[in-house]
Amino acid sequence: MANYADIVNTARNAFQTGRTKQLDFRMKQLKQLYQLYEDNENAILSALATDLHKNKYESVLAELLFLKNDVKTFLMHLKEWAAPEKPPKGFVNMMDEVLIYKEPYGVALVIGAWNYPFFLSFKPMAGAIAAGNCVILKPSEVSPASAKLIAELVPKYLDKECYQVVLGGVPETTELLKERFDYIFYTGSTTVGKIVRAAANEHLTPVTLELGGKSPVYLDSTVDMEKAAKRILWGKCLNAGQTCVAPDYILCTEQAQDEFISKAKNVLEQWYGESSKNSPDLGRIVSDRHFQRLVKLMSSGKVAVGGETDPSQKYISPTILVDVKPSDPIMQEEIFGPLLPIITIKDANEAIKFINSREKPLAFYIFTENAKERKLLIDSVSCGGICCNDTIMHLAVESLPFGGVGHSGIGAYNGYYSFDTFTHKKSCLVKDFSVLGEKLGSSRYPPYTEKKTNFLTMLLLKRKGLGLSRTYLTHTLIFTLGILATLGFRTFLKSGYFRILTDSWNWPNTS
């Protein structure tokens, strides 16, 4: 086992040199990361084919293209995102500088999962680099060809001290987690997510946990059923169902179920021919252990479509199961394979009750043309994210944060949110020593008096409806000028100059 203390120390010393805080350095590393993707496309595709029987189309689109776009986004926006923010400030701070500095945490540990081994390792890593952190990356041992390639490529392209790769499985990760990190970003199962969080707690290390769970589909008969069937099955068959946001099960009426199944049979035949086993477009299950687990789950309910398996290839055909009971094994855990159970319900309210009686899902898919019902479903279900009338595609929207809630995760990333996740927002107030500033603030000093309290209350009290709009600024300006005039007038009255002036005045004799 490698010496993890040394690895983390090397990264920490590198962080302390301050080089990852320089924007030029980060930009250079991100460009190098892009180059890594460009130069090694064939090697990456081949590792994905070895580990997951992933076809070129899915590898290029669902792993590499998004990784490249992600780096491009950072290169385009990093300067602007990394600059100190000047948030709106209240009236009392009108004379001060109010800033939010974007500070990297330090050494971040990124633990990747096997189902999208490059995407789930490099995407968070790119966010950590952009934010100025050093990174220790631990790819999943379950996709070994990909993990090995990642370990070979990273030191060839990136700074060797700041960014390091550690290989290994459970024992290695357990040891690694004993080290102190400044941030931990974990992708994987909820069970292991709890272990990672417990390890992080030892050092009060902040975490992002990108976990899984059962992502339900609500489907009704108002939709174009052929298109709906295509979009649901595409989400289920992508990477042979081994996608964290794959539609896990369908909730629909019996009528919608019949319509869906009749369309689904045709769609699958159009896509994969008579037997999907011979199609180059369907992936395989990652390991024998996962294959056996899925085969056991197939005994829930009754097979309506598919049901074919071949252990020698870890092949499972896209399978739709009906007559499934909520208490069946397939409804007790995330499926993570090409099995699609259907649970029949009466209406949207029953679907909401069903979903809300379980852990909060990572994704929720709503297929309906009924806008009122859609709104009800969106409002009533708490989940990581929602996609209406499609599956998985919400992840491709760069401006949307991606993450779970409750048992499906903590925190989120994607585009700006990746940068934000790995950034500590350091607040900073800069006051000056001007006479006026001191005058305004001196009422906070003892001895405390009623007059001072009243003055400060007047100064600090939040006024309803006043944001930092133009109206607010106008009000504030008038208010400030009023106070300044009052203070100036009082000073003037107390000044010797006023006395000299008044003494010299020729007051009318009123007596």
Closest-CA residue to 294 (of 252, 328, 337, 259)? 337
150 touches ligand NAD (CB under 6 A): no
User: How do beta strands 216-219 and 423-430 pair?
Assistant: unpaired
Q: Is 38 a known active-site residue?
A: no
CA distance 127 to 150: 17
Cα torsion at 409, 297, 377, 238 (round to 10°)?
Answer: 70
Among positions 188, 235, 283, 415, the unique one binding ligand NAD when judged by CB under 6 A: 188
Which SS3 state, helix, strand or coil, does residue 125 take?
helix
476 touches ligand NAD (CB under 6 A): no
Q: In the complex, which residue's CB is closest to ligand NAD?
A: 212
Q: Which stretch binds ligand NAD (CB under 6 A): 133-141, 227-235, 271-279, 300-308?
A: 133-141
Residue 30: how many other CB atoms lie within 10 Å: 21
141 touches ligand NAD (CB under 6 A): yes
In whole angstroms, what separates CA 157 from the centre of its chain?
Answer: 26
Contact call for residues 100 and 73 (beta carbons, < 8 A): no
334 touches ligand NAD (CB under 6 A): yes
249 touches ligand NAD (CB under 6 A): no
The contacts found for 321-329 with CB under 8 angstroms, 24 or more apart, are 322/257, 322/261, 324/249, 324/300, 325/300, 325/301, 326/354, 328/300, 328/301, 329/296, 329/297, 329/299, 329/300
20 touches ligand NAD (CB under 6 A): no
Q: Which stretch binds ligand NAD (CB under 6 A): 27-35, 41-49, 187-195, 366-374?
A: 187-195
Among positions 189, 222, 279, 309, the unique one binding ligand NAD when judged by CB under 6 A: 189
Among positions 20, 59, 164, 187, the unique one binding ligand NAD when judged by CB under 6 A: 187
Amino acid code (one letter) for 101: Y
Which residue number, 1 or 430, has a Cβ lying nearer to ligand NAD?
1
Which residue number, 212 or 235, has a Cβ lying nearer to ligand NAD?
212
2 touches ligand NAD (CB under 6 A): no
Q: Report DSSP state, residue 239.
A: G
CA distance 290 to 286: 7
Which tokens go with 297? 């789950």
Contact call for residues 322 and 257 (beta carbons, < 8 A): yes
Q: Which residues between 400 and 439 bind ligand NAD (CB under 6 A)? A: 404, 409
244 touches ligand NAD (CB under 6 A): yes
Contact call for residues 38 and 64 (beta carbons, < 8 A): no
Contact call for residues 408 and 258 (beta carbons, < 8 A): no
Q: Is 161 a known active-site residue?
A: no
Site map (CB under 6 A) of ligand NAD, residues 86-125, x = contact: -------------------------xxxxx----x-----
Q: Report DSSP state, residue 307.
A: -
Which residue number, 140 or 257, has a Cβ lying nearer to ligand NAD?
140
Minimum gap (Å) between residue 395 Cβ and ligand NAD: 9
Which residue number, 115 or 276, has a Cβ lying nearer to ligand NAD?
115
Residue 324: how many other CB atoms lie within 10 Å: 20
136 touches ligand NAD (CB under 6 A): no
Minimum gap (Å) between residue 276 Cβ and ligand NAD: 23
Among positions 92, 170, 477, 500, the unique one binding ligand NAD when judged by CB under 6 A: 170
158 touches ligand NAD (CB under 6 A): no
Among positions 66, 105, 336, 419, the unique one binding ligand NAD when judged by CB under 6 A: 336
CA distance 353 to 247: 18
Catalytic residue among 210, 259, 334, 373: 210
Minimum gap (Å) between residue 385 Cβ and ligand NAD: 10
Q: Give every strand in the sheet of 302-305, ordered side by side.
A: 302-305, 319-322, 339-344, 249-252, 216-219, 363-367, 385-388
The residues facing 316 across adjacent strands are 309
Catalytic residue among 134, 162, 244, 387: 244
CA distance 230 to 235: 9
The residue ranges that bind ligand NAD (CB under 6 A) are: 111-115, 120, 138, 140-142, 169-170, 173-174, 187-189, 192, 195, 210-212, 244, 334, 336, 362, 404, 409
Give the residue numbers annotated as catalytic, written as ranges: 210, 244
